[in-house]
Structure 1
Amino acid sequence: MMEVYRKVFPAVNKELTFWKKRAEQIPENELRNQALASIESKRFHCLGGAVYALLAGYKWQEAIRFIVAYQTISDYLDNLCDRSTSMDPDDFRQLHKAMTDALSPVKPIRHYYAYRSEKADGEYLADLVRTCQKTMRQLDGYDVIQSYLFELERLYSDLQVHKHVRMDERIDRLVSWFNANTNASTPLHWYEFSAAAGSTLGIFCLVSYSLSVPMSKELAEQIVDSYFPYMQGLHILLDYYIDQKEDEMEGDLNFCNYYESHEHMKKRLTYFIRQADIHVEQIRDRSFHKMVHHGLVGLYLGDPKVKRLSSGMDMTHVLLRESGSAASFFHWNAKMYHWIRKIKARPYIPGHESSRESRGS
């Protein structure tokens, strides 16, 4: 955590400042607004994902550059699909080709906005893709991890297409997609598989390792097996869990709504925590990966949104107890982080200085 606070977070904020300035230069109002909104409201995604830069050794800054750029593509496209002017699956598919191209060292930039009326982004999306491609060209083991990267990205893009179409089509499409990608023996529900597909953690892990260690097929398979579906599924289910109130207000699809009851959801999240623990045992640096997945529990449940959920305190107590001291540590850190942000966000009112200031301390 000292490394994260001292090195990782400042470097992430520097990268985000750069991309925010680029977003401010986007000519098209709608695209500019969605790009800026994604950076402002989803900064936490980049901060969390950048923890994987610690796996990149002395190339940690390159890992951060990739993670921030790739996550910014993800968050920007999510806004364009979720909050913008289109509900066209062809548009969503075309937009997400940027995420495929970003994982290739050589693929040419395509016309990602071909199916929407707003097109003038001042090369913002293309520059994000090029930044990721530069990292891909530095990976000695790229040929080893290429197929794994593209498979994780395929699942991610498929999910984004199916879950953002017209509301009356979403569930049928997601269930059909789930059936096409699993078999009868899967222990997952369709909405849990969908959640697992919606995380970028496995991609960040593969790329960060490839910057620092000789990548073998065995290690790549261990990473994917350790992260998909349980680590990634836990990540996104927690994200959906804390966003239930917001998604209800916005009319957005939330996978946590498909559990039979609060008790069923609690039982399944506990199951995901236990399975993630089991699966990361096979991977190198397993204590790091355990820290990350227990940290996810603590960080998400430390969000102030949890207090607005009727089941929030009960869920927090059960999942923190299941995840142990590491989760409690991150939970405390998250609560302090949100408290400090709240204090800093308060407007200054002349004549209303704190008692400490008024005493001349």
Structure 2
Amino acid sequence: MGYSIPKTPVTLMAAVYRKVFPAVSKELTFWKERAQQIPDNELRNQALASIESKRFHCLGGAVYALLSGYRWQEAIRFIVAYQTISDYLDNLCDRSTSMDPDDFRQLHQAMTDALSPANPIKNYYAFRNEQTDGEYLADLVRTCQKTMRNLEYDVIKGYLSKLETLYSDLQVHKHVRRDERVGRLSAWFRDNASASPSLYWHEFSAAAGSTLGIFCLVAYALSGRMNEKMAEQVVESYFPFMQGLHILLDYYIDQEEDRREGDLNFCSYYEGHARMKERFTYFIRQADTHVQQLMDRPFHKMVHHGLVGLYLGDPKVKQLPGGTDMTGALLRESGSAASFFHWNVKLYHFIRKTKARPPVPEKGENRESSQGD
């Protein structure tokens, strides 16, 4: 793959289908087999569920491996491991047997340790009943730490810490008792509002919930092209607008599911569909502006527009009030690249749906009797 960074949607998708997706699938197969060996039923079920239902997080995040040059496979190994930690812990907190913020903080210490090669492995389950995972979470952490030992760590250390701290703080505040969540998140935003004065509290929370900036920093550090100025530019470009758009779109398509499950959804705090569309448009424009300062800016702009196409191509959008209107407006704002990714994703979902259908019996064939007497 070398240092040929994709500059067009066609070359990006070619690299993704030819290189990235097969490598991600291989990594996920490994971690799924590890998860199947977890002794505790609850931990095993949540680990397997996170891989099964959220694998697209790894598939999407792994596009940043294309920034790593010849070390793209190392980047994918890190991205899949780190995103798997994130998705697993999110499941443990969302469907938790605990509502203890100390438990959530201790669990997410794993994400801090994964980015800190000198940190020892801890008992991340110290505040919950379920304890025995057969070293599953610890091995995920060790996999990430191995990558950290083989890149320009000192250059990106502080920037990784900033993004990871925001992420972990969010996970603690948003998973406590329902009657405490908004109060905690609002107070947290007020403590940080000077850094993002143009945002609402729920938009700041969304921006903190993305791992894209971390993947970008690690990928560039693996390539050997990272320096202090560049690391600062990555964080400024990705937080809050690129990451905020990412998570707001993620919450947008999950509105109905979150309503059924009683999960907090940041999109529900907009004053109607029109206001939400207006703010999404604002995030798209701001992200466009901020990525201009980056090396490989055509790539970052494509990823940014790809997010719009990716999420709005999900079949769940059709079930949302105003979904068609939102899709049309945001695709027009994002341009032809977003539309290209949008139709690619729709085709992908169509093919998956077609493959999942049972075969149609030929005329005159009895489905039950054809199974044998």
Q: Answer whether TM exceeds 0.5 for this pair.
A: yes
Offset, 1:184: 8.8
- Aligned match of 1:31: 43
* 1:175-214 map, 5 Å: 175-183=186-194, 186-214=197-225
* Unmatched tracts of structure 2, length 5 or more: 1-12, 365-373
Offset, 1:213: 2.7
| Conservation of the 8 A alpha-carbon contact between 2:196 and 2:204 | no
* 1:175-254 map, 5 Å: 175-183=186-194, 186-254=197-265
- Aligned match of 1:75: 87
* 1:314-353 map, 5 Å: 314-348=325-359, 351=362
Offset, 1:351: 4.0
Aligned-pair identity in percent equals: 78
Offset, 1:106: 1.8
- Aligned match of 1:116: 128
* Post-superposition CA distance 1:218-275 (Å, at most 9, x none): 0000000000000000000000000000000001100000001110000000000000
- Aligned match of 1:312: 323
Offset, 1:348: 3.6
Q: Which portions of structure 1, spanning 4 or more consecutive aligned residues, are displaced by more than 3 angstroms?
A: 348-353
- Aligned match of 2:184: 173
How far, CA to CA, are the matches of 2:42 and 2:294 in structure 1? 43
TM-score (norm 2): 0.93
Aligned with residue 54 of structure 1, among 63, 66, 91: 66
Amino acid at match of 1:36: L
Give the direction of change, closer, same or farther, for the CA distance of 1:123–1:292 in structure 2 (3 Å limit).
same
* Post-superposition CA distance 1:269-297 (Å, at most 9, x none): 00000000000000100000000000000
- Aligned match of 1:358: none
| Conservation of the 8 A alpha-carbon contact between 1:28 and 1:119 | yes
* Residue 276 (structure 1) aligned with residue 313 (structure 2): no
Aligned with residue 144 of structure 1, among 113, 137, 155: 155
**3-state SS, counterpart of residue 87 of structure 1:** coil
How far, CA to CA, are the matches of 2:242 and 2:302 in structure 1? 12
* Unmatched tracts of structure 1, length 5 or more: 354-361
| Conservation of the 8 A alpha-carbon contact between 1:152 and 1:203 | yes
Q: CA RMSD in A?
A: 1.3
| Conservation of the 8 A alpha-carbon contact between 1:34 and 1:84 | no
| Conservation of the 8 A alpha-carbon contact between 2:78 and 2:144 | yes
Give the direction of change, closer, same or farther, for the CA distance of 1:29–1:184 in structure 2 (3 Å limit).
closer
How far, CA to CA, are the matches of 2:42 and 2:18 in structure 1? 36
Amino acid at match of 2:129: S
* Residue 131 (structure 1) aligned with residue 143 (structure 2): yes
How far, CA to CA, are the matches of 2:354 and 2:142 in structure 1? 38
Higher alpha-carbon deviation: 266-275 or 336-345: 336-345
* Residue 104 (structure 1) aligned with residue 116 (structure 2): yes
| Conservation of the 8 A alpha-carbon contact between 2:309 and 2:338 | yes
What is the count of residue pairs matched by the alignment?
353
| Conservation of the 8 A alpha-carbon contact between 1:103 and 1:132 | yes
Amino acid at match of 1:59: R
Offset, 1:344: 1.3
Offset, 1:352: 7.0
TM-score (norm 1): 0.96
